[in-house]
Amino acid sequence: MPDLRRRAARILVALILAASAAACGPRSVALYEKVIGSPSYNRITEGATRTREVRDGLDTLFIFYATWLSPEWVDAFAQEFSNIYYLDAQRREATIAQWRGESQDRVRFFVALYVPDEKGNDLEKPGTLWSVRLVRADEKDYAPVYVRKASMRPEEISRFFPYSGTWYRAYEVAFPKEAGEAVAGGRPGTPRFKMVLSGVQGRAVLVWE
């Protein structure tokens, strides 16, 4: 008889736990997404990101990533940022205004660069040996308005741009607004624009349709 009672008690506990898990399931998923991130942000970021690895035989000369901070990306980022930090409506709008305002005036990118010799990873310096240009569909190219180190903290960079690992340096790069404008009469299949990073170690071309 005691064995039957213990067995019945265990079954009852299992049923209670199962019912509790079922009741909390949707809420648990919602909380998980707020911390880990929503699939929509990841999807949009992946769609806006291009990469190129330049090699010499088996040796990696450099790896270049860039994410176009398009209006669609800014909207997704603002929502993701708000979810992670649980921002109220006022602070959320301030975040959106900050990112959207600058992106409306410039064609902006988040860039991550890996170079085996860290001394050569200096895109933001006036004397850098690197050249970065944005080339429009009509082949008109533009120099950056600025290249600066990323303003985010390392933990935020890892969260929002996970491809930018420990050995990369992160930058924010902006070009004049007209560099991103669609060109009238462009040929079908012509890229909207492409970013070209050139240096003594080679050249990487990233293309956005």
Q: Could you tell me the maximum CA-CA distance found in the chain, to the nearest angstrom?
A: 88
Q: Domain for residue 97, yes or no?
A: no
Give me the residue label for tokens 């040796």: 59
Q: For residue 198, what are the domain limits?
A: 49-68+107-208
Cα–Cα dist 47/32, whole Å: 23
23 within a domain of the structure (yes/no): no
Contact status, residue 130 vs residue 197, Cβ threshold 8 Å = yes
Domain count, the chain: 1
Residue 199 maps to which CATH number? 2.60.40
Q: Is residue 100 part of a domain?
A: no
Sign of CA dihedral 31, 34, 35, 39: positive
Res 74 pLDDT > 50: yes
- Higher-confidence residue of 8 and 199: namely 199
The answer to whether position 101 is within a domain reads no
Per-residue confidence (pLDDT) for residue 29, from 0 to 100: 47
* pLDDT, mean of residues 38-64: 94
CA distance to 15, 16, 23, 161, per residue, from 19 (Å): 6, 5, 6, 38
Retrieve residue 70's tokens. Answer: 């398009």
138 belongs to a structural domain:
yes
Distances (CA, A) of 101 to 29, 176, 193: 33, 14, 21
Between CA 136 and CA 179 the distance in angstroms is 6
Checking if the pLDDT of 8 tops 60, the result is: no
Residue 73 lies in a domain: no
The string of pLDDT tens digits covering residues 92-150 is: 777 777 777 777 789 999 999 999 999 999 999 999 999 999 999 999 999 999 999 99
Residue found by looking up tokens 């930090």 in the block: 85
25 is a domain residue = no
Domain-embedded: residue 197: yes
Mind listing the pLDDT tens digit for each residue in 188-208? 667 889 999 999 999 999 999
